[in-house]
Chains A and B, each alone.
Chain A
Amino acid sequence: MLLSKIIRTGLVTEPLDGDSAKFIELARESRAEIRRHLGRALAIREVDAGSCNGCEIEISGLVGPVYDCERFGIHFVASPRHADMLLVTGPVTRNMKVPLLKTYEATPAPKLVVAVGDCAKHCGVFKGSYAVAGSVADVIPVDVFVTGCPPEPAEILLGILAALGRLPR
Chain B
Amino acid sequence: MRALFLAMLIAYSLGALAALAGGRSALGRRLVALGAVAGSGAGLALGAAVIATGVPFALSFPWLLPLGGGLALRLDSLGAFFLVVVGVGAIPAAVYGAGYSAAYEDGRASLPLLGVMFNLFLLTMSLVTLADNVLTFLLMWEGMSLTSYFLVITESEDEEVRDAGLWYLAMTHMGLVLLLGAFMLLTGGAVSGHFEDLRGRAVSLTPGTRDLVYLLALLGFGSKAGIVPLHVWLPRAHPAAPSHVSALLSGVMIKMGVYGLLRVVLDLLGGGPAWWGGLVLGVGVVSALLGVLYALMEHDLKRLLAFHSVENIGIILIGIGAGLMFHRYGLMSLAALGFIGGLYHVINHAAFKSLLFLGAGSVLYATGTRNMEEMGGLIKRMPWTAIFFLIGAVAISALPPLNGFVSEWLIFQSLLGGVQIPVPEVAAVMPVAVGLLALTSGLTAACFVKAFGITFLALPRSLKAAEAHESPWSMRLGMAGLGLGCIGLGVAAFAVVPVLGRVLAGLGGLPDTRAEFTLNVFLHTPSGLGQMSPTLMALGLVLLLGLLPSVLWLFRLQRRRRLSDPWGCGRVGQTARMEYTATAFAEPLKRVFADIYRPMKKLTVDFHPRSKYFVQSIEYRSEITPWFDQALYRPFLESATFVAKQMRRLQAGSLHLYLLYIAVVLIVLLVFARWF
In the complex they form, whether A and B have CB atoms below 8 Å apart is answered with: yes
A interface, CB within 8 angstroms of B: 79-81, 96, 98-100, 102-103, 105-106, 108
Given contact pairs A79-B567, A102-B572, enumerate 6 new A-B contacts (beta carbons under 8 Å). Answer: A80-B567, A99-B570, A99-B571, A100-B570, A103-B570, A105-B565
Q: How many contacts between A and B, using CB within 8 angstroms?
A: 21
Contacts of B571 in A (CB 8 A): 99
CB-CB contacts of B553-578 with A at 8 A, as 1s and 0s?
00000000010110101111000000
Closest Cβ neighbor of A109 among chain B residues: B562
Task: Tell me whether B567 and A99 are in contact (CB under 8 A).
Answer: no
Can you name 17 A-B residue pairings with CB atoms under 8 Å? Answer: A79-B567, A81-B567, A98-B570, A98-B572, A99-B569, A99-B570, A99-B571, A99-B572, A100-B570, A102-B565, A102-B570, A102-B572, A103-B570, A105-B565, A106-B564, A106-B565, A106-B567
Contacts of B572 in A (CB 8 A): 98-99, 102
Say how far A52's CB is from chain B's closest CB, in angstroms.
Answer: 19
Bound Cα distance A106, B567 (Å): 7
Bound Cα distance A80, B568 (Å): 10
Say how far A24's CB is from chain B's closest CB, in angstroms.
Answer: 27
Contacts of B567 in A (CB 8 A): 79-81, 106
Task: Tell me whether A108 and B562 are in contact (CB under 8 A).
Answer: yes
Say how far A66's CB is from chain B's closest CB, in angstroms.
Answer: 30
Closest Cβ neighbor of B570 among chain A residues: A99
Closest Cβ neighbor of B560 among chain A residues: A109
- Tally of contact residues, B, Cβ under 8 A: 8
Bound Cα distance A131, B439 (Å): 55
Bound Cα distance A81, B572 (Å): 17
Say how far B412's CB is from chain A's closest CB, in angstroms.
Answer: 38
Most chain A C-beta atoms within 10 Å of own C-beta, residue among B565, B567, B569, B571: B567
Closest Cβ neighbor of A108 among chain B residues: B562
Contacts of A81 in B (CB 8 A): 567
Contacts of A80 in B (CB 8 A): 567
Say how far B564's CB is from chain A's closest CB, in angstroms.
Answer: 6
Bound Cα distance A108, B567 (Å): 12
Say how far A101's CB is from chain B's closest CB, in angstroms.
Answer: 8
Closest Cβ neighbor of A106 among chain B residues: B567
Bound Cα distance A79, B564 (Å): 14
Say how far B59's CB is from chain A's closest CB, in angstroms.
Answer: 68
Closest Cβ neighbor of A105 among chain B residues: B564
Say how far A105's CB is from chain B's closest CB, in angstroms.
Answer: 6
Bound Cα distance A102, B567 (Å): 8
CB-CB contacts of B566-600 with A at 8 A, as 1s and 0s?
01011110000000000000000000000000000
Bound Cα distance A105, B565 (Å): 9
Contacts of B562 in A (CB 8 A): 108
Contacts of A100 in B (CB 8 A): 570
Contacts of A106 in B (CB 8 A): 564-565, 567
Bound Cα distance A99, B573 (Å): 11
Contacts of A105 in B (CB 8 A): 564-565
Contacts of B565 in A (CB 8 A): 102, 105-106
Most chain A C-beta atoms within 10 Å of own C-beta, residue among B567, B569, B570: B570
Residues from 251 to 265 in B contacting A, C-beta threshold 8 Å = none
Say how far A102's CB is from chain B's closest CB, in angstroms.
Answer: 5
7 shortest interchain CB distances as A-B pairs? A99-B570, A102-B570, A106-B567, A103-B570, A98-B572, A79-B567, A81-B567
Bound Cα distance A100, B570 (Å): 7
Bound Cα distance A151, B618 (Å): 47
Say how far A51's CB is from chain B's closest CB, in angstroms.
Answer: 15
Bound Cα distance A131, B186 (Å): 89
Closest Cβ neighbor of B565 among chain A residues: A102
Closest Cβ neighbor of B568 among chain A residues: A102
Contacts of B570 in A (CB 8 A): 96, 98-100, 102-103
Say how far A94's CB is from chain B's closest CB, in angstroms.
Answer: 12
Closest Cβ neighbor of A103 among chain B residues: B570
Bound Cα distance A106, B563 (Å): 9
Say how far A14's CB is from chain B's closest CB, in angstroms.
Answer: 34
Closest Cβ neighbor of A99 among chain B residues: B570
Bound Cα distance A100, B569 (Å): 10
Bound Cα distance A99, B571 (Å): 6
Contacts of A102 in B (CB 8 A): 565, 570, 572
Bound Cα distance A103, B571 (Å): 10
Contacts of A99 in B (CB 8 A): 569-572
Bound Cα distance A96, B570 (Å): 9
Say how far B558's CB is from chain A's closest CB, in angstroms.
Answer: 14
Contacts of A103 in B (CB 8 A): 570
Bound Cα distance A66, B375 (Å): 52
Bound Cα distance A102, B574 (Å): 12
Contacts of B564 in A (CB 8 A): 105-106
Closest Cβ neighbor of A96 among chain B residues: B570
Residues from 514 to 572 in B contacting A, C-beta threshold 8 Å = 562, 564-565, 567, 569-572
Contacts of B569 in A (CB 8 A): 99
Contacts of A96 in B (CB 8 A): 570
Say how far B330's CB is from chain A's closest CB, in angstroms.
Answer: 57
Say how far B569's CB is from chain A's closest CB, in angstroms.
Answer: 7
Contacts of A79 in B (CB 8 A): 567
Say how far A130's CB is from chain B's closest CB, in angstroms.
Answer: 20
Say how far A84's CB is from chain B's closest CB, in angstroms.
Answer: 15
CB-CB contacts of B439-462 with A at 8 A, as 1s and 0s?
000000000000000000000000
Bound Cα distance A102, B569 (Å): 9
Say how far B307's CB is from chain A's closest CB, in angstroms.
Answer: 36
Bound Cα distance A99, B562 (Å): 19
Bound Cα distance A98, B571 (Å): 8
Contacts of A98 in B (CB 8 A): 570, 572
Bound Cα distance A102, B568 (Å): 9
Say how far B618's CB is from chain A's closest CB, in angstroms.
Answer: 27
Say how far B556's CB is from chain A's closest CB, in angstroms.
Answer: 15
Contacts of A108 in B (CB 8 A): 562
Bound Cα distance A123, B555 (Å): 45
Residues from 350 to 404 in B contacting A, C-beta threshold 8 Å = none
Closest Cβ neighbor of A82 among chain B residues: B567
Say how far A154's CB is from chain B's closest CB, in angstroms.
Answer: 29
Bound Cα distance A62, B576 (Å): 38
Bound Cα distance A103, B572 (Å): 11
Bound Cα distance A98, B572 (Å): 7
Closest Cβ neighbor of B569 among chain A residues: A99
Closest Cβ neighbor of A79 among chain B residues: B567
Bound Cα distance A103, B562 (Å): 14
Bound Cα distance A52, B545 (Å): 50
Say how far B497's CB is from chain A's closest CB, in angstroms.
Answer: 46
Say how far B41's CB is from chain A's closest CB, in angstroms.
Answer: 52
Bound Cα distance A80, B567 (Å): 8
Bound Cα distance A105, B564 (Å): 8
Bound Cα distance A100, B572 (Å): 11
Closest Cβ neighbor of B567 among chain A residues: A106
Closest Cβ neighbor of A47 among chain B residues: B570
Bound Cα distance A50, B46 (Å): 77
Bound Cα distance A100, B571 (Å): 10
Say how far B129's CB is from chain A's closest CB, in angstroms.
Answer: 56
Closest Cβ neighbor of B562 among chain A residues: A108
Bound Cα distance A155, B562 (Å): 34
Say how far B293's CB is from chain A's closest CB, in angstroms.
Answer: 33
Bound Cα distance A99, B572 (Å): 7
Closest Cβ neighbor of B566 among chain A residues: A106
Say how far B395's CB is from chain A's closest CB, in angstroms.
Answer: 32
Bound Cα distance A106, B570 (Å): 9
Closest Cβ neighbor of A100 among chain B residues: B570
Say how far B665's CB is from chain A's closest CB, in angstroms.
Answer: 83
Say how far B464's CB is from chain A's closest CB, in angstroms.
Answer: 30
Say how far A36's CB is from chain B's closest CB, in angstroms.
Answer: 15
